[in-house]
Structures are given as structure tokens and as C-alpha cells.
Structure 1
Amino acid sequence: MSAVLANAETIRFEVDAGVAVLTLNRPDRLNSFNDQMHAEVRAALEQVRLGRAEGAIRVLLITGAGRGFCAGQDLSDRSVAAGGEAPDLGASVEKNYKPLVMTLRALDLPVICAVNGVAAGAGANLALACDMVFAARSASFIQAFCKLGLIPDTGGTWILPRLLGPARAMGLALLGDKVSAEQAEAWGLIWKCVDDEALLPTVKALAAQLAQGPTFGYAQTKKAIWASSTQDFETQLNLERDMMRECGRSHDYREGVAAFMEKRAPQFKGN
């Protein structure tokens, strides 16, 4: 693999054969976010955006180092001295967590998450903001905000009801119960739960497969599915019409049809 952002201290970022791998790398803090990690993740996602525009990156895989995926915000960065002024948590959301999940949603390629351990608070909702989520069997998801008198951020109040329905979303948000990877799969919170030792091999194989696929069509599919939750049926049908028109003009569509007619494997370029 060729390393990118070699000077990063809180993440690892590597690109190989069209697959970018972003690893949260503060294992001693369960990969919890501080300001430096936010800045380095932003820089990595900008590399992904530029790499996609150049055709060098066609899939993003996000995972965590060590025994956890991400424990959310590093609270030591938000300590309040006795009698001191409370930090402006809304400013942190606006500066860091809001642009983080909006950038993931806007990337014109599949974003896959491999949850290798606990995903708590913003860490859980970061994972759920990805397009496909795999989790190790020992992993878990916790909406830990209620333990601190907070609300689920990083898109949690939007994502949870749409994935689980209001009853389960409300229960998880108010109680902060731990959800196992197997339960998360059964509820439709994630795509798949796999054995711990199979997690990265499984996800990397899928990423390699997607990196050879019709990336433009994947990006349009992603946009259409995300848009569907806020649009009426006719508006969504119109969006499908417009996106189908764009896909029909793509190189990948022409190559896919030609490969089918010629009974050969397609050679997609991602555009």
C-alpha cells in the first residue's frame, strides 16, 4: 500500500488499487475524537474527494485500530473546571461532527464501515452514516449520550428512526442500552455481522470488488436511496428518471451493455 497523509498522528490513511482505508488510530483512547483527529479525518476525506475526481479512489473503508472502533468524543478535551464556563457543544457539532457526516454522505463512491469493537456515541452514528456497515461479532453499538444529559448527535436523531422506527430509536436514545452486533444485524441497523477474525478480510474483499465496479452508478444509487426518506413518491420517481438518464450516458453503462452482449467480464472505469 502507498501511504497518504504520512504525518498524521491520530489516523492511518492508505490507498491501494482504488480502495482508500481510513483507520482511526488512537487505540489507547478507544479511538475517541479530539480536535486533532477531526482535522486529520477532514484532510483524509478531502484526499478521497480529490482521488475520486481523478479516478484513483473508488471506495472508502473506515475502521478502527485496536480493540474498539470509536468511543465518540474524547471527554478529556471537554473537561469543565468546578464553577467554570461550560463548553459550547453546539459549536463543536457545527465545526466537527456535522461536516463529518455530511461529507461522508456526499462522497461519490461507496463508503463501507468495519466496526471492530465498541462504537459509542458519535462513534456509533459515524458508523451508521456510512453506506454499508459490517461489524465483528464482539462489536457493540451504544447511544451513550443520555448518560451525559445529551442528545444523539452526528446525525443520530435522523438516522436511528429511519433505520429502526421511532419506538426502538427512542428506547436506544433514552436508555443508552448496548446493542450487540448480532442484534444490530437482526434489527436492520447494520448490513452484516461476521466473526471477528473474518471482519477485515470480508470487508476488504468487498471493497476490492466494488472498486472494480460501475462507481458512477453506485454513487447515483447512494444519492437516490438517501434522498428517498425526505421525498414523496412522485418526486422520487422523477429523481430516478433524471438519474437513469445520467447513468445511461456514462461510460460504465456502455461498457456494461457491451460486456453483456459479448459475454465477457466488464472493464468499468467508474465514470
Structure 2
Amino acid sequence: MTSAAHVTLRAAEKSFQRPGSKEIVHAMGPIDLDLRKGEFFAVVGPSGCGKSTMLELIAGLTTASKGSVEFEGNAIGNRIPDGVGVVFQEDASFPWMTVRNNIEFGLRRTKLSREEREGRVSRALNMMGLSAFAESYPAQLSGGMRQRVCIARTLVTQPRLILLDEPFGALDQQTRLLMGDELLRLWRHTGATVFLITHALDEAAMLADRIGVMSARPGRLLDIVETGWPKDRDSRIVEDNRFGEITARLWRSLRTESMKSMGKAGAA
């Protein structure tokens, strides 16, 4: 893995005006962070701490109030940069389209030939284990499979940076582990940088090379944990003694911050 910075945040902050009020809410920052090219980076933190806000800054879905955010050395404006793919928690598949057409949707505005589009879709179907369901509709699939469709729709655009905002939050624990295996496999296959937002400490500990721990709002980075896992890891890593050590370290950093976010900072 190279140490070259793929994404850079420098003194990045985000504030916004509360709807229907003149109150200004300081949501996040300042944050300084370098995402290394090709790494898997996860962020955990209490609810409302600005995790998703940081992802939106990197995605170009919002702009920083202060500081700077760059992707591949270029400032990120108010649109998703070329080479960046985003997957959210919500099922974003189109119910009236087949799996194949859902995946192809992201390529419709490109100048690719029909042959190239079909080739990319076929490869994505195969990579995500969806080839047998290419002509099915989302309503005929499980929640985990529908989320695979959304990930495949992102993959066909061949992003160099994949942003994931709680992509498995609606799934049961067993399915989350299996989807984590799929995510690690495609990360290795594509070589993309992955930035994951999650509430699940065990998910972050299993998937990531590094984990950023955020404070209560306004979210700042309290700690960055290096997991030290091999790149060819899978869900069996949860059996390693260090897995428990990593999740314990994350919780030590987060416990007080989580109580703050609940208005219980003085709790024992």
C-alpha cells in the first residue's frame, strides 16, 4: 500500500443554520486527515457527530465552511468528482428496473459504446454474485442482495474512491458479516480507496486498515487506530484476539463521547 494521500482534509469545518431559526450549528471540525491511496478507512463516532457530513464533504455533496478538502490534489467543489462513487444505507434501487438495468443506469450518461457498457455490467454482476438474478426485479431480492445491486451500480463506473455511508445498517448481523466479506473482496479486486462510515465498532474493526474515532458534535478526530490486518482478511478475523483489543480501544474512546451526545456526560 502506498502512503500517497488520495484525499486530504485540512482544518475542514462545517456549520449550518438550523431550519426555521437563526441558530448556527457547528456540525464538524476542524479536521485534518489524509486518506492513503488504496487503503480501507473507517470512521466511527456517536450519533450526530458529523460522520456523514465528512463523507458529504469528500463526495462534493456539500462544501466546507472553513478549511479545504481535496481529491487527487484538486479542490472538491459542490459536485461529485469524477472517479468517486457513493453508496448510502437506503435501498436506492429502482423497483421498476431489472437488476441488470439498475446496474447499467450509472453508465447511461457516459460516452461508452453499448458493447463496453454491457461488458462492465456483466463483470459487475459476476463480481457481486448477481449473474443468476440479472433479469429479476428488486422486490424479488433479499435486502442484502438489493444492497449488492447498489454497490454494483457504483462499481460499473470504475471509481478510484468508494464512499460508503452505513451501507449495511439495515441488515442482520450474519448478513453484515457476509457482506463485509464481499466488500473486502471487491476492495482487493478494484484497488480503490474505500471510506466507510459506520456505527458498528465490530464492522469497522473487521474491515478497515485504519479507523478514525470522532468526538461528539462538533465532530473532531480523537484517535486513529491502525488495525494491522493483512489485506487478504475476511470475517474470520473476528476470532483473532486482537479483534477484541481493537473494539475495546474504540469503545474506550467513544464511551464518554456517546454519553455526551445523549446528554449524560456526568454518568458513571
Tell me if TM exceeds 0.5.
no
Specify which structure has the higher proportion of strand.
Answer: 2
TM-score (norm 1): 0.31
Identify the structure with bigger relative contact order (alpha carbons < 8 Å, sequence gap 6+): 2
Say which structure is richer in helix: 1
